[in-house]
A = this chain, B = another copy of it.
Amino acid sequence: MKTEKISELTINRLSIYLRCLNELAGAGEATVSSRSLAERFNLNSAQIRKDLAYFGEFGIRGVGYYVEDLRQQLMRILGLLTTHRVAIIGAGNLGLALANYPGFSEKSFRIVAIFDVDPAKVGMKLRDGLTISRTDGLRETIERESVEIVILTVPAEVAEAVFNEVTGAGVRTVLNFAPVHLPPRPGVKVKTVDLSISLESLSHFLANPAGEPSGW
């Protein structure tokens, strides 16, 4: 494995490759070349080879990749061979939508707790074993439930305070939907999701319909 720093964009592309491989595996295909992977899913074959080369030698000359083997390797690299315990903070519309998002549980993420400050929401059962908890028991619940990942769906003005509380409780990975920049903290990885970025690639298309960007 190369020691140079691997970019977030490389990691995001591995997630995309994994989805393509899942589709190929579902269709019963055993092997695929980087060229045919690129053609079928509108990706770049040189980029695929370069991204995978960061992590080892996966291709076999004259064969390409073994689909199931590469899937397992990507799942290992992406940390998806174990299930991660996730807590959502903020049971507004977005928090509730994420609590019910079917894609998470299929992909090694298990929502084990959801919190809100609103007393009217606390105690509401969302589904088997998932009930909205009071935020004043946040730290205790995070420790008891061995939460590894926190999803922040709180209003912007309280995001930093909640972030400080959860990282203080030992959480090292935070997915932030609040439209604020959270301060860097050693050993903590924050990913801020900006839903308007997806809309901007559509407005680019509206402004430049001839130059339709490809793929993902």
Contact = CB atoms under 8 A, between A and B. Distances in A.
Copies of the protein in its oligomer: 2
Contacts of A156: 102
Given A7-B215, A8-B214, A19-B194, A77 B204 contact: yes
Interface stretch (A9-17, A63-71, A160-168): A9-17
Interface residues of A, number: 70
Interface stretch (A27-35, A86-94, A133-141): A86-94
A172 interface: yes
Contacts of A86: 199
Contacts of A5: 211, 213-214
29 contacts: A7-B214, A8-B201, A8-B213, A9-B9, A11-B200, A11-B204, A15-B197, A19-B194, A77-B204, A84-B203, A84-B206, A86-B199, A92-B97, A101-B196, A103-B196, A104-B195, A107-B196, A107-B199, A107-B200, A149-B206, A172-B206, A172-B209, A174-B202, A175-B199, A175-B202, A189-B202, A189-B213, A191-B198, A193-B195
